[in-house]
Amino acid sequence: MLYFEDIEVGEADAFGRYEVTREEVIEFARRYDPQPFHLSDEAAAQTHFGRIAASGWHSCSMTMAMIVARGKERPQAALGAAGIDELRWLKPVYPGDVLRVDTQVLDKRASVRRPGIGSLRTQVTTYNQKGEPVLRMIAATLIRCRPAADHTEGQ
Amino acid sequence: MLYFEDIEVGEADAFGRYEVTREEVIEFARRYDPQPFHLSDEAAAQTHFGRIAASGWHSCSMTMAMIVARGKERPQAALGAAGIDELRWLKPVYPGDVLRVDTQVLDKRASVRRPGIGSLRTQVTTYNQKGEPVLRMIAATLIRCRPAADHTEGQ
């Protein structure tokens, strides 16, 4: 289990493979973002999307699925996210795309108000199969510090 | 149809009613954010959530569902979102919560590079049934300007 003390600023990771299907794009959009350009190629053809494209929230959710799967391979004492800054949908995500993720830790800070907890700011970039960045964001997440009893195991 | 010219800075709106169910919280989390505190009350009891709570991306998606439904009542020439700033998950969203949304237009700007398109920055706040803000973000969205032929119809 990786704790706050184990995370190094600048540390990068690359992972994930998410195949975007037309069925899933439409299912997500029907429920959460039923704008015409997420539901129909005809409607999307009249916009800059050109053809049916995933909801931006769906792209975030698929990115999260890859992040959580990575966390199971490389467990962290994660306590969830406080927020996101500078979320940008850089390119449309289309059915047939295969997504992957790069992360880099930008900074870390021990909580003054909450001893035993630290926060990380991590830049997350999602790419399609052509290597084009489709989504970028900075995630502020909380992570537990190493429990006192474990200090001797430390680095 | 509301175009860029019809939107006034400072303009506020309040809408939506989304009942958060346990089934939907778990279904979303299983697919996109299978962290234990989104899937099980027992695991959530060991965190600050206390009991099963919705994925932050699910809260964003439910918020989007209310925004799109509002857009159908009050159609805008919307072209999607470029990005989000300062997204903050302020309080957990729990099964049984009933969400609603407030929006306020912070500023608007005609695109220099793309004539005929404008951008809006809108603060979006999602509240639970106790009136507590659970999510806040600033959405940067694109909207078409009124087509030239419609100018005489004015605002």
* ipTM of the complex as predicted: 0.92
Contact assignment for B82 to A64 by CB distance below 8 Å: no
In A, what residues contact B, Cβ < 8 A? 28, 31-35, 37, 47-49, 55-58, 60-62, 64-65, 68, 71, 78-89
Residues B41, B29: contact at Cβ < 8 Å? no
Neighbouring-strand partners of residue A121: A107, A140
pLDDT band at B154 (very low <50, low <70, confident <90, very high): very low
Other beta carbons less than 10 A from residue B131's beta carbon = 7
**Residue of B23, B32, B88 for testing the chain A interface, max A β-carbons within 10 Å:** B32
What's the whole-number average pLDDT of chain A?
Answer: 93
Pick from B47, B48, B85: CB nearest A85: B85
Does position B152 have pLDDT exceeding 80, yes or no? no
Cβ of B81 within 8 Å of Cβ of A89? The answer is yes
Calculate how close chain B gets to A137, using CA atoms only, in Å: 9
Give the Cα separation of B34 and B31 in Å (integer). 7
Task: Report the residue count for chain B.
Answer: 155
Q: How many residues does chain A have?
A: 155
**Confidence band, pLDDT 50/70/90 cuts, at residue A35:** very high
Q: How confident is the model over B53-75, as a mean pLDDT?
A: 96
What does the pLDDT read at residue B150?
Answer: 53
Contact between B80 and A35 using a beta-carbon 8 Å cutoff: yes
Q: Specify the CATH number for B4-144; select among 3.90.1150.10, 1.10.760.10, 3.10.129.10, 3.20.20.210.
A: 3.10.129.10
Q: CA–CA separation, A141 vs A121, rounded Å?
A: 7
